[in-house]
Amino acid sequence: MSEKFKNHRGLITAAITFFVIELAIVLFRYHAYYHTDTSFDLGIFNQVFWNGHQGRFFQSSLSSSLSVSVETPFVSYHRLGQHFTPALLLWLPIYLLFPYAPMLLFLNVTLITVAGIVLYILARQRLEPNLATWITISYYCANAVIGPTLGHFQDFCQFPLFTFGLFLALEKRHWWWFGICAVLIVAIREEAAVVLFSIGFYLILSKRFPWLGLGVCLASLVYAIVVTTYIMPLFSHDVSSRFLIEEFGQYVEGEQTSSLDVLWGILKNPWRLFLELLTPFSPTLTYILGQFIPLGFISVISGATWMLIAFPLLTILLRKSEWALSLDLRYSLTLVPGIFYGAILWWFYHPEAQKNRFFKRFWAVCLSLSLILTITSSPNDALAFIIPNSFQPWLYFSPVQQWNHARIIEKLIAQIPPDASVSASPDIVPHLSSRREILRAPNVELINDAGQKIWLDYMIIDFRKNQRFQVISSGDRRILAKDVPTVEAFLDKNEYGLIGYQDGVILLKRSTPDDPILLSQWQAFRQTL
């Protein structure tokens, strides 16, 4: 065995293990049609890519249904009004090879895995192979990495790769590559400028490259203001009327705002800022500890880390939504590069600590604890085939149960023509989103390419999962209370006919008579809800 392979054996083993396990889990969950909150997002991204490969860049009828600027969803709506994500165009050639949602799941896991390899190369610029391997293994065992990767595809999966690439360019003084990576980072999404601003902040305070840092800060600030204030409103007013209000509405007045208004609202009320940083205290503390535990808390005492994550962490803590403090969701990935690069710098400037055997044991314990806590929390319910969704009350569905139910859904989907317009429940949307006209059930009205308002041809809804989860989920109870009467109204008015039913999954077709046998089966199931 060559010396070079021995040095990289830990990295290769960790990367392959992470890739295989994560990909197997997300593909199983996809094909099992398993209930998750992010299923609908996968459908949106898949439709955006599917439209893109036909030259209709960033268009999505699914995104249109979420827009506050849209009265009736339409097929040519540009998602750039909600999130400015030009970096997605980089992966369109790969999507062309297999233009379906599973390709995005593969891409998601691949990007996160490759980022770990770039992290190892980055660590080797300053550290010996063994320590660089430890840091990389810590990355693959971090909840903030595993959790979001086990969710569905998100544009945030690009953050670790591009940001580690920027740090590597910084270490090698490759300024062209530094500039390219900086552009790629802000192209991920409009709020990515906050990450780049924090990097510039570090370059200034650390005095490594203060003039470069000043330029990075100014460029990222101008980019964020221009994109959110002038470019995104060209497509829709969602960023000013919805997203900024939903996340930072406590700092501004009125039903519409801008990024500058939010910034000024935060700065002029320092007491509220202080309270928002500390509350809710327990989730905030748990979140921060969860980010630092895989590296044995070394990053906590690294000044570089705090400079590198200062502004993205501030943005997370100031958000109104408590879900922003979840290690399983996409925002946690914005902190990962800064935390790990800060650890690399700390170890470089404290070489004597590498001889401390006690700390190595402590690090191993922290690493193991991080992995155990991640697995037992079943991030994004991805391990629900092993770990129950709830212990009290008991809620568990075996892989066989999930798989059998999925085959029922597939049998009903087979009755829907590939080019037909469809309304589908969130967990089914990704499987049908490679088409022009699709909405989330029970929405049925859509404006097509001809500018005509139409009713969608088919509707497929899985009420069985809502029935199962209603004992632990208020969201599922609301869906049953709202959507079941809507479906019954469609049937009563003969606007749709029931042409398929099994195990709580219904398939309706526009202007078609009901199958009487299936209708009686549905009505019997309806009584159990």
pLDDT of residue 208: 92
Closest CA to 460 of 509, 518, 420: 509
As to burial, measured by CB atoms within 10 angstroms (0-12 exposed, 13-18 middle, 19+ buried), residue 253 is exposed
Among 205, 88, 89, CA closest to 158: 88
Task: Name residues whose C-beta falls within 8 Å of residue 101's C-beta, 6 or more positions apart in sequence.
Answer: 30, 42, 43, 46, 153, 430, 431, 433, 434
Q: What is the pLDDT of residue 324?
A: 78
> Above 50 in pLDDT, residue 475?
yes
User: What is the rounded CA–CA span in Å between residue 59 and residue 64?
Assistant: 9
Answer whether 73's CB lies under 8 Å from 446's CB.
yes
> Residue 527: its pLDDT value, please?
87
Alpha helices, DSSP H only, in 173-257? Answer: 175-188, 193-205, 210-226, 238, 244-248
Is residue 394 pLDDT above 50, yes or no?
yes
User: Residue 1's pLDDT band (boundaries 50, 70, 90)?
Assistant: very low
Gap between the Cα atoms of 272 and 410, Å rounded: 51
d(CA 193, CA 83): 13
Residue 264 pLDDT > 70: no
pTM here? 0.92
Strand 422-424 to strand 394-395: parallel, antiparallel, or no bridges (unpaired)?
unpaired
Average model confidence (pLDDT) for the chain?
Answer: 89
d(CA 508, CA 513): 10
3-state secondary structure 450-468: CCCEEECCEEEEEHHHHHH
| Segments making up each domain of the chain, as ranges | 3-34+78-381, 394-526
